[in-house]
Amino acid sequence: MCGTRELMKSNEIKKMRDKVELKCWVADLKQVGGPCLIISQTMNNKDVKPVTQSDKGKIVPMAIIFVVLCGFSFYMGIIFCSEKDGFASIYSQKSIESPKESSISSLSIKYISFPECGADYQDYTPCTDPRRWRKYGSYRLTLLERHCPPKFERKECLVPPPDGYKPPIRWPKSRDECWYRNVPYDWINKQKSNQHWLKKEGEKFIFPGGGTMFPNGVGKYVDLMQDLIPEMKDGTIRTAIDTGCGVASWGGDLLDRGILTLSLAPRDNHEAQVQFALERGIPAILGVISTQRLPFPSNSFDMAHCSRCLIPWTEFGGVYLLEIHRILRPGGFWVLSGPPINYERRWRGWNTTIEAQRSDYEKLQELLTSLCFKMYKKKGDIAVWRKSPDNNCYNKLTKDTHPPKCDDSLEPDSAWYTPLRNCMVVPDPKFKKSGLSSISKWPERLHVTPERISMVYHGSGSTFKHDDSKWKKQVEYYKKLIPDLGTDKIRNVMDMNTVYGGFATALINDPVWVMNVVSSYAPNSLPVVFDRGLIGTIHDWCEAFSTYPRTYDLLHLDGLFTAESHRCEMKNVLLEMDRILRPWGYAIFRESSYFMKAIATIGKGMRWECSKENTETGSDTQKNPNAAIVKESNYTGSICIPTHEYCHLKDDDIFVQIVCGEEQWTYINAEHDIIIF
């Protein structure tokens, strides 16, 4: 049957979807477009019963009935079923039917009080857990990649903060210091003391801006880099990635220069590089270049940087450098300092020989040339290469070239558990304005419609501009609900399921940075986010995010459960949000009111306690009854804003103030339901 008009359980729908490999969507909460099944049966000729004359008279009316039924089924299938494109359209627009038109009540779940995890789980990272490393091999450091635990091993408990935890120091002071008890790692302080990564002074860690390759301070190091790359000064270079970031001093310095850097480092037992970076308020994510692609689309970053990151660039067929080539946009820069650069003067301190370093440098130069990189500048310990700004170099490559060009079967932007391949991703020549030399300079590029929006289903300049306008108004309202938003009390922000980065754009003048997350099951709009000069990552919220606990001040999601509830268990998603939220942080949910009561129940079980807030809107509470409650937490705070009818927003009167209590509902004249935890 296709287009069955009945309510189905999510697991039943999923089973049927899996059988036919179609993605259908719940049009509303009482009408489900079932999977479209075409059933055929092949029989041997000898098994076919001969048709008698009397039977023939029955065939015509039966055939007519059959055709009518098939036509009706097909028509219903068109309405309620879709394959990839239809699914993409609904996901990107996040459109669902208003619950007030449905007879189905809100999702109800049983209250569960979640216990605290043990103290040894205070820095628990489920998918990069050192406790599970022994299960995976050390070849190419695969043990450091994402390996999420199976369902029966998942921890359903609240990750506790370390003893003596304090609210993080506020930005921008946090860039230079953090509380020792918040990140109590002495190993890095002792092992890197001669390199001035950080030093412990009383109750704080101080970050003097040192590093292996910048003993005179990161500021002097970046000054030299800017002399070599003038594009760092005029807004041409906006986004960068730092592989092997240390404590992210390079990325922190670039923030003052208008360059947004995503610092990348693997989980480890001692150094906690990414945790230090995020505690400082600097963008960072756990990750390693090993056997899988990094979770970013192709042609994303304007610049990539490695300062003695010790990645064996020329080994394994150059596969690591091939990944840097993939994520750099045409005309982008790759900066390398450390071995083998300046080996003529430095080789003695590297515990090697000058011959070995000369050989490494020659191999590196040869590999870069084969990837259409050209030496741009070189001075002292810094060497800069530039990726080809156009396809002229790639067009000259022969079939015998190594590494070869990737064929059409390998999607350039596929980046979620996608294996690394020993082939070169050639930029699509149809995108003329995505290269570094042709894309708008910062900050103009933030508001210019990227040409790669054409890759997004139903993406257009009008939807892009509407998205910006919508979020500008909604963020203004958020600031009324959360006075801390827009102040130095909120620094690290995540938009958990963005489309075009409109939420981040609305916050661009505030002292925050935003991690824009696009679901691995949604249309891949992340290239649009990067083309705007913002940063983000691909992720599947059925799994834990690649970060340490207590690393974000504000989490924002818009229709995530509407889109993913058929795959991801709400409880696990909320527990993950609790893990990565800082104590006294916030979470904003814009979600279908169908999920509102369940979110409130789970939140209560996670110690998100309720307090009443009284406001008056003067709205007609009987005209459009929508429920709302306001809560605030002493442990981990959050604002939950459920909403519906995303495709028919009236931006002028979306939000109103409300009066609420834990088990009391106040009906308001608004198109959105609001919960504040």
Cα gap 170→555, rounded to integer Å: 18
> Is a pLDDT exceeding 70 seen at residue 79?
no
Q: Is residue 311 part of a domain?
A: no
Total count of domains within the chain: 2
Say if CB 17 and CB 37 are below 8 A apart.
no
The confidence band for 62, taking pLDDT boundaries of 50, 70 and 90, is: low
Q: What burial letters (b/e) apply to 247-286, b meaning 16+ CB within 10 Å?
A: bbbbbbbbbeeebbbbbbbbbbeebbbbbbbbbbbbbbbb
Residue 233 lies in a domain: no
| Other residues' Cβ atoms within 10 Å of the Cβ of residue 52 | 8
Residue 63 is predicted with a pLDDT of 63
Q: What is the pLDDT of residue 579?
A: 98
Asked whether residue 517 is assigned to any structural domain, the reply reads yes
CATH number of domain containing 536: 3.40.50.150
Residue 152: HSE in the Cβ half-sphere, 13 Å Cα cutoff: 0
CB < 8 Å & 24+ apart, contacts of 220-223? 221/250, 221/337, 222/250, 222/253, 222/254, 222/257
Name the residue type at position 8.
M
What is the percentage of the chain residues whose pLDDT exceeds 70?
73
The CA angle 419-423-426, to the nearest 5 degrees, is 110
Quick one: pLDDT at residue 26?
Answer: 27
User: 515-529: string of b/e by CB count within 10 Å (b at 16+)?
Assistant: bbbbbbbbbbbbbbb
**pLDDT tens per residue, range 464-498:** 999 999 999 999 988 988 899 999 999 999 999 99
d(CA 139, CA 149): 20
Question: Is 497 inside any structural domain?
Answer: yes
Is the peptide bond preceding residue 230 cis, with omega within 30 degrees of 0? Answer: no
| pLDDT tens-place string over residues 292-330 | 999 999 999 999 999 999 899 999 999 999 999 999 999
Centre a 10 Å sphere on the Cβ of residue 576 and count the other Cβ atoms it contains: 22
Instruction: Taking each helix axis as running N to C, give the angle between helix 570-580 and helix 596-605, from 0 to 180 degrees, rounded to the nearest 10.
Output: 50
What are the contacts of 389-394 at 24+ separation with CB within 8 A?
389/330, 389/331, 389/435, 389/436, 389/437, 390/330, 390/435, 391/426, 391/427, 391/429, 394/424, 394/426, 394/427
Q: What is the pLDDT of residues 500-529, one digit of tens each?
A: 999 999 999 999 999 999 999 999 999 999
pLDDT (0 to 100) of residue 425: 96
Domain residues for the domain of 78 are 10-100
Alpha-carbon gap, residue 244 to 334, rounded angstroms: 14
Inside any domain, residue 455: yes
- Separation CA 592–CA 559 (nearest Å): 7
* Domain finish residue from 69, 100, 131: 100
Residue-wise pLDDT for 554-588, tens only, equals 999 999 999 999 999 999 999 999 999 999 999 88
- Residue 105: its pLDDT value, please? 74
Token pair belonging to 314: 């020329």
| Residue 580 falls inside a structural domain | yes
180 near 189, Cβ under 8 Å? no
**Quick check: 620 pLDDT over 50?**
no
What is the spatial order of strands in the sheet that 328-337 belongs to?
Answer: 284-286, 260-265, 239-243, 301-307, 328-337, 382-387, 373-379
Mean pLDDT of 395-404: 91
606 assigned to some structural domain? yes
Banded model confidence at residue 197, pLDDT cuts 50, 70, 90: confident
Residue 104's pLDDT band (boundaries 50, 70, 90)? low
**Closest CA relative to residue 80, chosen from 36, 20, 17, 21:** 36
- Structural element, H or E, at residue 61: helix 53-80
Residue 310 inside a domain? The answer is no
> For the CA atoms of the chain, what is the radius of gyration?
27
**pLDDT at res. 20:** 34
Query: Can you give the pTM of this predicted structure?
Result: 0.79
Q: How many CA atoms lie within 13 A of 215 on its CB side?
A: 5
Closest CA to 257 of 281, 226, 302: 226
Q: What is the pLDDT of residues 105-154, one digit of tens each?
A: 778 889 999 999 999 999 999 999 999 999 998 999 999 999 999 999 99
pLDDT of 194 reads 59
Q: How far apart are the first and last CA of the chain?
A: 42
Distance, CA of 361 to CA of 355 (rounded, Å): 10
Q: What is the pLDDT of residue 370?
A: 97
pLDDT tier at 646 (50, 70, 90 boundaries)?
very low
Q: Look at residue 516 and give its three-state secondary structure.
A: strand
Q: Which one-letter amino acid corresponds to residue 1? A: M
Rounded-to-integer distance, Cα 534 and Cα 296, Å: 12
Mean pLDDT of the residues in the chain? 80
Show which of 41, 72, 100 is a domain's final residue.
Answer: 100
For residues 385 and 48, the model is more confident at 385
Residue 383 Ramachandran class (φ > 0 left, ψ -120 to 50 alpha, else beta): beta
| Confidence band of 185 (pLDDT split at 50, 70, 90) | confident
Q: Tokens at residue 340, please?
A: 């083998």
Which of 100, 121, 139 is at the close of a domain? 100
At residue 634 the predicted structure's pLDDT band, cuts being 50, 70 and 90, is: very low
CA distance 550 to 376: 41
